Chains A and B, each alone.
Chain A
C-alpha cells in the first residue's frame, strides 16, 4: 500500500464548476497535510495546508481533513482554465520533517 494515494486523472471539469480532488494516506500518525499545484515544467507551489479535522477555506479553495478516515480533499470552486495543472497531496511524516507526496492528480478545466 502506497503511503499517499491520489487518483492520477485526468479530472476534467467545465469552467465555473467545482473540482474535487481526493487523497488518502496510510500513516495514522501523520500530522500535517498540504496541497501543491504544479504546472507542467514548473516546480510545486503551495496552495493550502491543514492540520485539524474539518474544513479550511482560502478564497476559491477549501481543504477538508478527516483523520479517522485518513482522507484529505481539495475543492476548487468556480474553476478557471488557469487552474489546469497537476495537484499534489503531501503528508508530513510522523518524524516531522519529510513530506511524503502522492503522484498527483491532473486537472483540466475546459472553457
Chain B
C-alpha cells in the first residue's frame, strides 16, 4: 500500500511570496495533520483536519491556512513568507482522530525562503 505522499519535495521561495504544499493520506485514512520541523527541533503541530473539518490548530500565525478535500487530501498554504518559515513541512495521516490512533508521516516538503 502506498504511504503518505507529499508534493513538492523541495521548494525555494523568496520573502513575501506565497506557497501551497500538498498531501495525500494513506488510503482509507480520514485525518490529516500538518507539522513544521526546523533543524534540530522536533516537529511542531500546525493543523489537524478530520472529515474536512478543522479539528485543531497550533500556535502559528494566520498566514498559515489549510483545507481538506472530499478525497481526504489536504493543502497547506503559507502567505507572506518569512525567512523563519524555512523548514521541513510534514504531513501525517491517521485512520480516525481518537487518542489510540497512530499518525504516519509523509516524506515532507523542504521549504527554503531566501
Contact = CB atoms under 8 A, between A and B. Distances in A.
A98 B97 CA distance: 10
A43 interface: yes
Contacts of B58: 98
A110 interface: no
Nearest to A106: B40
A45 interface: yes
Interface string A78-111: 0000000000101010011111111110000000
Interface string A31-59: 11010100000111110010100000000
A19 B31 CA distance: 33
Range for the number of chain A residues in contact with chain B: 20 to 34
A99 B97 contact: no
B25 interface: no
Given A42-B107, A43-B108, A98 B45 contact: yes
Contact of B103 (A4, A42, A95, A99): A99
Interface of B: 31, 33, 35, 40-45, 48, 50, 55-56, 58, 88, 90, 92, 97-100, 102-108
